[in-house]
Amino acid sequence: MISKHSLSDTHISLAHGNGGRLMRELIDQLFASHLKNDLLDTQTDAALIPLDLKDGVVVITTDGFTVEPLEFPGGDIGSLAVHGTVNDLAVSGATPLYLTLNAFIEEGLEIALLDRIVQSMAKTCRECGVKIVAGDTKVLRRGQGGGIYFSTTGIGQRSPSLCMGITQIKSGDAILLSGTAGDHGTAVMLAREQFGLSGSLKSDAASVIPITQVLLEIPGLRFMRDPTRGGIATIAHEIAQATQNSVRFYEDKIPVNEQVRTVAEMLGYDPLYMACEGRVLAVIDPASAELAVTNLHKAGYLDAVIIGRIETGYAHALIETVLGGERILQELEEDPLPRIC
């Protein structure tokens, strides 16, 4: 789709961040043009948003996005920023409603690329049912940024009767994963072509709202989280430390795309530590676990499966191997794949 913005410049300059005419044109003719809605007013310093607190408690999240490359198979930094923020609200049991956006743009960025990214962001907002209601732009000197960074804040509402969180997890609970592990991290890495590797794998970046809506109907839902940086292994450690129980994964149950598995084996990575951007890891009462899987399959999430359980014992994460042995999943120390989300 060709944009209809009327900016005469082809690349971002420092003047686009000086508060003057060029900055106003950038905001009005590019950002506001694509992101326009009944609550976005670029002439004010704060947005007025309607919230009926009788419908639930307010849930707020904030996030930042620095992915490289800015466009990758299955998404871009614009759609990723919306999905990432919406997903954090959704796995908290909230209905996402509003976002704010801060854009940190590097001098020299091609305006046509920025236009595509903002169009993608606007399309993703419509698909997720959210509105960007306020924002800000800053321009960084050439060489001081990665093209563009986004910072977002998300606002949603959650039922006050919902009893869900990491403190609700009990020994014996089942661990569910809604789809394959490590797709996003691997797809972004392949897009960089750093190791002479390429492939057709697409990021799993997507809204998890349909997944959480299914899971919120399941009795005995204890906890949900989207496994982004650090993957499902990092969430396992968070659960173990918070509950002082063991988290056991079953290696033969964890769904992994064959391209992800191949790349991980070639480069010495572990898919359990690689980022997802459209998956949910949930902890559920074992009596309801199979119902949750069945309902997700009916909703089209055919890779959803029980991948482990919570056990009384030491506060650590481990995996039961295909051969019947066990190995401890160490906490992630270094970031093997920086700037993936």
Q: What is the pLDDT of residues 151-160, one digit of tens each?
A: 999 999 999 9
| Distance of alpha carbon 160 from the chain centroid | 24
3-class secondary structure, 304: coil
Which pLDDT score is estimated for 6? 58
Across 127-153, average pLDDT: 96
Across 147-153, average pLDDT: 98
The domain made up of 14-158 has a fold known as 60s Ribosomal Protein L30; Chain: A; (3.30.1330)
In 10 A of CB 22, how many CB atoms? 19
The verdict on whether omega for the bond into residue 69 sits within 30 degrees of 0, i.e. cis, is yes
How far is residue 335 from each of residues 127, 185, 267, 270, 340, measured CA to CA in Å?
32, 11, 14, 12, 10
Tokens of 225: 């989280």
Higher pLDDT, 196 or 140: 140
Which pLDDT score is estimated for 291? 98
Average pLDDT of every residue of the chain: 93
Unique residue bearing structure tokens 């999430």:
301
- What phi and psi, each to the nearest 5 degrees, are found at residue 183? -65, -45
Which segments of 32-184 are extended strands (E)?
57-65, 71-72, 75-76, 95-106, 131-140, 148-158, 174-177
User: Would you say residue 167 has pLDDT above 50?
Assistant: yes
CB contact at 8 A, 91 and 238: no
Higher pLDDT, 210 or 338: 210
User: Would you say residue 195 has pLDDT above 80?
Assistant: no
Q: For residue 126, give the H/E element and its range.
A: helix 111-128
DSSP-derived letter for residue 28 is I
Q: 204-227 b/e with 16+ CB inside 10 Å = b?
A: bbbbbbebbebbeebebbbbbbbb
Among 3.40.190.10, 1.10.150.20, 3.40.50.1110, 3.90.650.10, name the CATH number for the domain at 166-328. Answer: 3.90.650.10
Which pLDDT score is estimated for 336? 67
Q: What digits encode the pLDDT tens for the residues 15-65?
A: 999 889 999 999 999 999 999 999 999 988 889 888 888 778 999 999 999
User: Would you say residue 145 has pLDDT above 90?
Assistant: no
Strand order, beta sheet including 174-177: 221-225, 281-284, 174-177, 305-311, 246-250, 317-320, 326-328
How far is residue 95 from each of residues 106, 186, 217, 222, 287, measured CA to CA in Å?
33, 29, 14, 18, 26
User: Would you say residue 118 has pLDDT above 60?
Assistant: yes
Q: What digits encode the pLDDT tens for the residues 269-298?
A: 999 999 999 999 999 999 999 999 999 999
In 10 A of CB 284, how many CB atoms? 25
CB contact at 8 A, 86 and 96: yes
Which pLDDT score is estimated for 3? 45
In 10 A of CB 132, how many CB atoms? 26
Which pLDDT score is estimated for 332? 85
CB contact at 8 A, 97 and 57: no
Which pLDDT score is estimated for 162? 93
Domain spans of the chain, in order of start = 14-158, 166-328
Q: For residue 283, give the H/E element and its range.
A: strand 281-284
Q: How would residue 2 be classed by pLDDT, with cut points 50, 70 and 90?
A: very low
Q: What digits encode the pLDDT tens for the residues 60-116?
A: 999 999 999 999 999 999 999 999 999 999 999 999 999 999 999 999 999 999 999
Across 239-257, average pLDDT: 97
Which pLDDT score is estimated for 63? 96
User: Would you say residue 179 has pLDDT above 50?
Assistant: yes
Q: What digits encode the pLDDT tens for the residues 290-338?
A: 999 999 999 999 999 999 999 998 999 999 998 889 999 999 887 767 7
